[in-house]
Amino acid sequence: MGALDWAKVVHQHQWWRLFSCIWLHAGLIHLIVNMMSLLFIGIRLEQQFGFVRIGIIYLLSGFGGSVLSALFLRNHYISVGASGALFGLLGCMLSELIMNWTIYSNKAAAITTLLFIIAINLAIGILPHADNFAHIGGFVSGFLFGFVLLARPQFGWMERHELPQTDQPPKYKTYQYVLWGAALLLLLVGYVVGLAMLFKGKNGNDGCHWCRYLNCVPSSRWKCST
């Protein structure tokens, strides 16, 4: 029905499943939790940067999560859900904070809170029945896209009073150009290499034998093979 299925993506050339799985969920609770998370994370981002840029980050982060998930989970599972795209929004929040570091107050509190939220959500992903590879792939994609697309925040009218008064036109700083170029290069290389490996049928676990523990850590209470 459009879920991420490695065999269908690779052998039947149904590449569109890398996108379609983002809009499918495994049940009503799964859908409600993800949509509540989207409201919590997405509204402020859209207010600051507009729905076009945030929509691009959301979609391509979900795509990046699907690619990484397919590389490592292969034909053992199918995967659905918007979690990879949501982690992409968390990632771009972090990179946007770094990219526009000089304009924010309470920087330490903001970055500590954000890192805590990210760490908790990634930790939940090591439980069974969660696709943490999609979470990680989405987060990394969103983190890099944040450097590329969110270099200068477009504050809404409610926040204009927070901007310093100046007659000078806004300019990018040198470190922003460096981060923008590095992030764009990493995105291009990552997507090209990831897609090439995927459609050649490569197994991501062959080059990283411990990576399976990023998706699920076995314990006496559950098995990761179920």
Q: For the chain, list the strands marked E by DSSP.
A: 4-5, 78-79
Give phi and psi for 146, each to the nearest 5: -60, -40
- Secondary structure (DSSP) of 3-61: -EEHHHHHTS--TTHHHHGGG--SSHHHHHHHHHHHHHHHHHHHHHH-HHHHHHHHHHH
69, 83, 95, 141: the catalytic one is: 83
135 assigned to active site: yes
83 assigned to active site: yes
Contacts of 159 (CB under 8 A, 6+ apart): 48
61, 66, 95, 135: the catalytic one is: 135
Show the tokens assigned to 169.
Answer: 């036109």
**Which residues are part of the catalytic machinery?**
83, 135
